[in-house]
Amino acid sequence: MQVCDITNISRGSFHDGPGIRTVVYFNNCSLRCKWCHNPETISKDNEILYIKSKCIHCGKCIEICPEHHKAAGDSMEFFREGCIKCGKCADACPAGALNISGESYTPERLMKEIRKDKHYFEESGGGVTFSGGECLLKPQFLREVLKMCKAENIHTCIESAFHVPFENIGRVYELIDFVFADLKIPLSQKHREYTGAGNELIIENIRKLSQIHRNITIRIPLIPKVNDSMEDMKDFADIINTFRGGVKAVELLKYNYLAESKYEILGKEYTKFSDSTQSDAYVQSLVSALKSHLTRDLQVFSK
């Protein structure tokens, strides 16, 4: 039976495709972007999240697992080393301070969740967006769910970093109405430095998909002093110019500097690239620069 760990199902999004979207976050990613906004989805294993401010110091987790939980003043210290992520402490926590990310779903169970929002999809022209983590690392599971969505006339979208074998994409692309393809850093060596892998496979995959799919938007997350200079826009355009007609638009995403708390509750180190986001005026100048280097008339916009 196909099963997949899903980290979160977020309802009512306006940013992840047309209309009102339900966004399904898959566990596991093949990249390690230093600015990742969803660090709880990176690992293929579940994660234990500890929100210290919610702890009411009841001591239940200490009773269950004294090796990893110790009383500390008016809260509890969580020692992660050696934790097997069984989730027993999270199940026992009455305050929602300890949680386990990731739950196993069959395609049918996930479909049941998606179906709950059908009314909003119909009213708004929305649908479901599969994100992550990397949804294309589970192509068989994704295919099953996409088939069910199509059978019920639900609009489908994926958001992917495309660092997967093309075979995975080939198994699902016909069932996807709208694609967000992330392009992170134009130069491969720098891409490797900041994400853990070069960008050749990603570019090749988007290029191939742009020949056979008709509705792709390239998404570029703007990271201060990493990929947000005028020169970077020229380098991005040189790559985008090699894509075929399936690429219809490019979206520049302003830097999100608010992800730090997510790293804290996961006990992971956070890399901050700036205390603020790029100004509207600066991003508009990047949009103009990118447009000026494109050889096709693509829609270029920012968020």
**CB of 47: closest distance to ligand SF4 in angstroms?**
10
Measured CA to CA, the distance from residue 16 to residue 78 in angstroms comes to 35
DSSP state of 20: S
**CB of 94: closest distance to ligand SF4 in angstroms?**
6
Residues 149-178 that bind ligand SF4 (CB under 6 A): none
DSSP state of 217: E
Q: Measured on CA atoms in the order 192, 196, 201, 205, is the torsion positive or negative? A: negative
Q: Which is nearer to ligand SF4, 67 or 238 (CB)?
A: 67
Q: Which is nearer to ligand SF4, 48 or 164 (CB)?
A: 48
- The residue type found at 75 is S
**CB of 120: closest distance to ligand SF4 in angstroms?**
34
Q: Which is nearer to ligand SF4, 247 or 266 (CB)?
A: 266
**CB of 49: closest distance to ligand SF4 in angstroms?**
11
**CB of 44: closest distance to ligand SF4 in angstroms?**
16
Structural tokens at position 43:
């690992």
Q: Which is nearer to ligand SF4, 95 or 212 (CB)?
A: 95
**CB of 258: closest distance to ligand SF4 in angstroms?**
24
Q: Which is nearer to ligand SF4, 83 or 197 (CB)?
A: 83
| C-alpha distance from residue 193 to each of 33, 35, 82, 132, 190 (Å) | 9, 12, 29, 21, 5
DSSP state of 255: P
- Selected from 87, 196, 198, 267, the binder of ligand SF4 by CB under 6 A is 87
- Selected from 11, 12, 72, 84, the binder of ligand SF4 by CB under 6 A is 84
Helices then strands, counting H and E runs in the chain, come out as: 11, 13
**CB of 100: closest distance to ligand SF4 in angstroms?**
7
Q: Which is nearer to ligand SF4, 67 or 174 (CB)?
A: 67
Q: Which is nearer to ligand SF4, 85 or 143 (CB)?
A: 85
Instruction: Find the DSSP H helices in the chain.
Output: 60-64, 88-92, 107-115, 118-124, 139-151, 166-170, 188-195, 200-212, 230-240, 260-266, 280-293
- 24 sits near ligand SF4 (criterion: CB under 6 A): no
CA dihedral defined by 202, 207, 210, 216, rounded to 10 degrees? 40
Measured CA to CA, the distance from residue 20 to residue 12 in angstroms comes to 6
Residues 91-120 that bind ligand SF4 (CB under 6 A): 92-93, 95, 97-98
Size of interface with ligand SF4, in residues (CB under 6 A): 25
Burial (CB count <10 Å: 0-12, 13-18, 19+), residue 163: buried
Q: What is the distance, to the nearest Å, from the Cα of residue 220 to the centroid of all Cα atoms in its chain? A: 13
| C-alpha distance from residue 157 to each of 91, 98, 160 (Å) | 33, 32, 10
**CB of 15: closest distance to ligand SF4 in angstroms?**
32
Q: Which is nearer to ligand SF4, 73 or 189 (CB)?
A: 73
Residues 36-75 that bind ligand SF4 (CB under 6 A): 48, 55-61, 64-65, 68-69
Residues that bind ligand SF4 (CB under 6 A): 48, 55-61, 64-65, 68-69, 76, 83-89, 92-93, 95, 97-98
